[in-house]
């Protein structure tokens, strides 16, 4: 379950009145309770050097990084059947990306916004506009005109190549509208995949236990050097608040996509242009396929990379319960020598390793025989 951060809605539970039940009072001699032992904290002067150093580090990081974080308010007009057009407001976070004043945030923070307002650390309120957005990576870039150079404080970008589980991280954002709140934690896992209902899976995501709540979306996840290693984007929670499972778009994805959003307003995603079934052992047995894992190509988009490379789609339809199964096409087993067993693996590999116009080597099985084709990637429509 994915919960995105945005507008906070309060709900009131109305409790009806009922007749009070009959009350029977039973008096008993109370047992003596144990005497609580007070917890005595050591005076600050007795803290060890490592504790003081850690404290000073977090204080210094916050003082340096928090002025770069902005509070974003997005406003839309929503039609209500009874009240007509009513305003709707959502909040999120963002941070300065460069000296030109470009602000990075999440796509879902500003999606469909009619009006966007940015609040800076010094309290300045200023209108902003979206100059580039990418729904797949959940990234967007804003521009607020009229800022002075002193107000623009970009954060340095880090890399995700050398991250390790257990490293300390810091999240700064605006949870529930509380400006520039800092929380700390560690990297809980790397290479996570977020399944989404309306988009392809987002892979190579950072998981952290630093508290992330509604309003933190678009804020930076920092390492102890104050470098951005991710953009906080989602949580997994049964309650809607932080339970210690948060996710951030990795910095390498940000540095790959954001410059394109600034330059062109969009990011062209590499695409083979095919649809396929994920082969399971059961499907392989039923269709008598030569492999138990891979992708059975069903359709190839005319003119796309796979079509130009000569990949073949289904040649016949097999009637099954509830519809038809397209069979007889090529079986994709690997891309650039990397085994591919799911559609998500294919999408994530292309996203993180390839650009439009680059070539990929496709390992296929056709009529029971292995073949190799080279495809030049096109842009996803």
As given in the structure block, the two tokens for residue 209 are 């236990």
At 142 the three-state DSSP class reads strand
CA angle 353, 141, 1 (to 5 degrees): 65
378-379 and 316-320 as β-strands: parallel, antiparallel, unpaired?
A: unpaired
By annotation, the residues acting in catalysis are 108, 138, 217
Partner residues linked to 105 by β-bridges: 140
Interatomic CA distance for residues 95 and 103, integer angstroms: 5
d(CA 233, CA 139): 9
Interatomic CA distance for residues 128 and 280, integer angstroms = 49
CA-to-CA separations, 160 to 251, 267, 366, in angstroms, rounded: 6, 20, 38
Single out the residue of 170, 167, 166 nearest to residue 184, CA to CA. Answer: 170
**Gap between the Cα atoms of 174 and 171, Å rounded:** 10
Structure tokens at 153: 């404080």
SS3 81: coil
Half-sphere exposure of 140 (CA within 13 A, CB side): 26
Burial class (CB in 10 A: 0-12, 13-18, 19+), 140: buried
Query: Residue 307: CB partners within 8 Å, gap ≥ 6?
Result: 273, 300, 301
C-alpha 334/C-alpha 177 separation (Å) is: 47
Please give the Cα distance from 143 to 100 (Å, whole number): 9
């Amino acid at each position: 379950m994915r919960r995105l951060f945005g507008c906070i809605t309060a709900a009131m539970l109305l409790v009806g009145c009922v007749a009070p039940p009959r009350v029977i009072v039973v008096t008993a001699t109370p047992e003596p309770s144990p005497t609580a032992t007070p917890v005595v904290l050591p005076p600050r002067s007795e803290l060890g050097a490592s504790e003081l150093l850690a404290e000073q580090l977090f204080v210094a990081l916050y003082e340096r990084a928090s002025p770069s974080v902005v509070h974003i308010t997005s406003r839309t007009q929503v039609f209500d059947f009874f009240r007509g057009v009513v305003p709707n407001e959502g909040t999120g976070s963002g941070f300065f990306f460069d000296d030109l004043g470009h602000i990075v945030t999440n796509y879902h923070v500003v999606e469909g916004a009619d009006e966007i307002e940015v609040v800076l650390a010094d309290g300045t309120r200023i209108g902003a506009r979206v100059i580039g957005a990418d729904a797949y990576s959940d990234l967007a870039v804003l521009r607020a005109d009229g800022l002075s150079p002193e107000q623009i404080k970009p954060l340095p970008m880090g890399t995700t190549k050398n991250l390790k589980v257990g490293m300390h991280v810091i999240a700064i954002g605006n949870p529930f509208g509380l400006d520039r709140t800092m929380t700390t934690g560690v990297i809980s896992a790397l290479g996570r995949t977020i399944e989404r209902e309306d988009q392809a899976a987002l892979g190579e995501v950072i998981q952290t236990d630093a508290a992330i709540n509604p309003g933190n979306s678009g804020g930076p996840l920092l390492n102890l050097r104050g470098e951005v290693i991710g953009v906080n984007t989602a949580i997994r929670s049964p309650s809607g608040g932080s339970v210690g499972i948060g996710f951030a778009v990795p910095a390498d994805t940000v540095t790959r996509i954001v410059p394109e959003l600034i330059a062109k307003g969009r990011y062209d995603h590499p695409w083979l242009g095919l649809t396929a079934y994920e082969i399971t052992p059961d499907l392989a047995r039923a269709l008598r396929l030569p492999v138990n894992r891979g992708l059975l190509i069903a359709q190839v988009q005319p003119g796309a990379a796979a079509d130009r490379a000569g990949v073949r789609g289904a040649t016949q339809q097999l009637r099954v319960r509830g519809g038809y199964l397209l069979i007889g096409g090529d079986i994709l087993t690997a891309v650039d020598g990397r085994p591919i067993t799911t559609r998500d693996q294919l999408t994530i590999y292309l996203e993180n390793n390839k650009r439009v116009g680059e070539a990929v080597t496709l390992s296929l099985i056709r009529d029971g025989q292995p073949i190799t084709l080279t495809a030049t990637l096109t842009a996803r429509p």
